Amino acid sequence: MSPFKILKANLYPKWQLEALGDWLLGEEDQMELKASSGKTAGRALIEAVASSGEKAWLAWDYKDIRVVALFGYIRIEGVKGVVIWMVATPQIYKYSKPFLELSERIINYWCSKFGMLHGYIDTRNEKHIAWLKQLYFEFPEGNVAELNGVPFQYFVKEKTNV
């Protein structure tokens, strides 16, 4: 049985999302949100959830009643597939294997539904880059963008016709 309860992120008040971003997220994710948006991690998280609308969720550790991760996707007109995002609290390391299993199910479902998943990740966020590699995302060489002076690497996963 999964240790997670999945809840719609857009049902949470903005002040709770802001507090989560500014105080509970892991340091790597706070740095990434600040670098990608030029705002506080809390403000960037509010915007990510708003941009995703009903397509953003919180994964809760239902025993300890703690947020483990927030994730979602954004559909952009004229862009193939969906742009995905995920941030986590340090609580995620308590559940590395179950969270990877949950991630595999979600990523495989989204990939079959949308055909392509992609986004950019702060190159300093080594733990999440390793997580994406375990989920078989590719990192096309030379596809790096700079946001607010920080390099972000493009990642992608496409549906295979196997």
* pLDDT value, residue 128: 92
* pLDDT value, residue 22: 96
* pLDDT value, residue 24: 95
Question: How is residue 138 annotated by DSSP?
Answer: B
Long-range contacts (CB closer than 8 Å, 24 or more residues apart) made by 102-108? 102/2, 102/4, 102/59, 103/131, 103/135, 104/135, 106/71, 107/135, 107/157
* pLDDT value, residue 161: 58
Per-residue pLDDT of the chain (162 residues; tens, 9 = 90+): 788 999 999 999 999 999 999 999 999 999 999 999 999 999 999 999 999 999 999 999 988 888 999 999 999 999 999 999 999 999 999 998 999 999 999 999 999 999 999 999 999 999 999 999 999 999 999 889 999 999 999 999 998 754
Report the candidate in 102, 119, 4 with the shortest Cα–Cα distance to residue 51: 119
CA–CA distance, 38 with 26 (Å, rounded to integer):
18
Delineate the domains of the chain, giving CATH numbers in brackets. 4-158 (3.40.630.30)
pTM score of the predicted model: 0.92
